[in-house]
Amino acid sequence: MLIGRIIGDLVATQKAPSHEGRKILVVQPLNLDGSDRGDEVLALDAVDAGVGDRVLVVTEGWGAMTAVGRQNAPIDMAVVGVIDSIALAD
């Protein structure tokens, strides 16, 4: 899993049938301190997240497929949670 920030939506006029009715979000992965980490990724939305939200992204196929209720679909990543806060112990 990774922490990220939603920075946009991807609009596709043609999608695989398994993707119909689901938003595709552009996610910027983040370090724990909130700074950007690496390149942006695409993820299907399972929790109605929006631009600006900090989110939890599952990054393996089976977890992503089951999170959006589309088993045996070509899905690598899914947004599975909107993060309210992060508390780190010293």
User: Domain 2-11+20-82 belongs to what topology?
Assistant: OB fold (Dihydrolipoamide Acetyltransferase, E2P) (2.40.50)
Q: Which pLDDT does position 42 carry in this prediction?
A: 93
pLDDT cut 70: percent of the chain above it: 96
DSSP string, the chain: -EEEEEEEEE--SS--GGGTT--EEEEEEB-TTS-B-S--EEEEESS---TT-EEEEE-SHHHHHHHTT-TTSS---EEEEE--------
User: φ, ψ for residue 20 (rounded to 5)?
Assistant: -60, 135
pLDDT tens figures, 35-69: 999 999 999 998 999 999 999 999 887 677 677 67
Average pLDDT, the chain: 88
77-86 pLDDT, tens digit each: 889 999 999 8
Domain locations in the chain as residue ranges:
2-11+20-82
CA dist., res. 24 & res. 43, Å (int)? 6
